[in-house]
Amino acid sequence: MSQKLPNFVLYLMSVSAGLVVANLYYNQPLLGEIAKDFGVSESAVSNVALTTQLGYAFGLLFVIPLGDMVSNKKILQFDFLVMIISLLAAAISNSLVLLIISSFFIGFTSAIPQLFVPMAAQLSDKEGQGRAIGIVMSGLLVGILGSRVISGFVGEQFGWRVMYYAAAAMMVALFGLLKFKLPNLNPSFDGSYGSLMKSLWFYLKSESTLRLAALRGALAFAGLSAFWTTLVFLMEDSFGYGSGVTGAFGLLGIVGALAAVVVGKMNNKISSYKIILFGSLLLILSWVIFLVSANSILGLVIGVILIDMGLQALHITNQNIIFSNNPEARNRVNTIYMVGFFIGGAIGTTLGAIAWEQFKWTGVAVLGIFLSVALLAVHLAFRIRVKR
């Protein structure tokens, strides 16, 4: 489709992406309170964040490819029903095990914003594709970061369960809006679900730029996940702050997230190689600052802004590359990319928890530096493959 995407629809997708993806991250500033409520260790409660991200990866793998085969409205109808039930189940959980299971399905259904990103690309003309992706991604990223602010405040003032009740209510209202205002898209793929899923392997095997983008995204998001999973423990350990202050750090990241629109526009003017190089260097710099900021709020503030800006520059450029190369299968290539992205996040969450348990904040920062340097090395080693 070659036309200008109406701003109302574009911003509706952006806001919706932010509100839904926020479900993934409400738990992070609340981990300390959840651990106290159930009487479990910091390492054990980190499984709530881990299974949420694993659920998201499974949702990406098994639900998002349907965007190339089934009407977006039909997908949303089923997905939101399961999502709302899962949020309510989390709110009434009487054990950590039940909360972990509910968190998996919250993650599984909250993958739906990844339909909006390729949809924005599909509904836009070629010149506006980078801008459209950037705007939707900015909403998604603001949702990720803003969720921590909201949940940190709500958890500290009213308890962690209230956050899940509130999220369920927001999803009911959002579904009503999307049902009537979102354009209905009927995709062209006419094969079976089995053949649709088999085609994922075809694209993964045949598209070197897709594999490289997925690896870059996984390494970058592993570092960010390690940071956010352990920040709440650092706040309590070094400063005596609760979830409210931890969540407030999300406000700083929002400043960086708004740069997503700028990055989207830059993709039409600056080479992908240079943008990814810049983003990789920002990530390394942010972790070096974190390493020396275990007792410095100012250092943590600067680091949060830089790490989010670096990730966004990398992430949006990755997606613009894969969508441009595979316009007939945007949902499927986005699935492959995002599965890698969030598997990286799950690994980062696990490694971050282990690093904290063994070496506290120094261990987390060294882990982040290692992941970011590995990302830069991958980018430089395969330079020819990211040039357009």
Report d(CA 312, CA 260) in Å as an integer.
Answer: 6
Is there a contact between 9 and 132 (Cβ–Cβ < 8 Å)? no
Structural domain includes residue 188: no
- pLDDT recorded at residue 197: 92
Structural domain includes residue 284: yes
Signed CA dihedral, 128, 252, 109, 53: sign only:
positive
Structural domain includes residue 120: yes
Mean pLDDT of all residues in 294-311: 90
**For the whole model, what pTM was predicted?**
0.77
Structural domain includes residue 1: no
| Spatial CA neighbour of 80 closest among 49, 115, 50 | 115
Structural domain includes residue 14: yes
Average pLDDT value over all residues in the chain: 87
Flag whether pLDDT at 97 surpasses 50.
yes
- pLDDT recorded at residue 388: 44
DSSP string across 229-247? HHHHHHIIIII---HHHHH
Structural domain includes residue 190: no
Mean pLDDT of all residues in 370-376: 96
| CB atoms near residue 230 (< 10 Å) | 28
Domain range for 103 = 7-181+195-386
Is there a contact between 228 and 148 (Cβ–Cβ < 8 Å)? yes
Mean pLDDT of all residues in 17-29: 91
Structural domain includes residue 379: yes
Domain harbouring 318, CATH code: 1.20.1250.20
| Spatial CA neighbour of 263 closest among 148, 351, 135, 152 | 135
| Spatial CA neighbour of 92 closest among 79, 102, 82, 106 | 102
Identify the band that residue 2 occupies on the pLDDT scale cut at 50, 70 and 90. very low
- pLDDT recorded at residue 386: 47
Mean pLDDT of all residues in 336-344: 88
Q: pLDDT for 151-176, tens place per residue?
A: 888 888 898 999 999 999 999 999 99
How far from chain centre, in Å, is Cα 352?
17
Structural domain includes residue 342: yes
- Range of lowest pLDDT (86-90, 134-138, 171-175): 134-138
- Range of lowest pLDDT (236-250, 268-282, 288-302, 324-338): 236-250
To the nearest 10 degrees (0 to 180), the angle between helices 259-266 and 129-158 is: 160
What's the number of domains the chain is made of? 1
Residues in the chain: 388
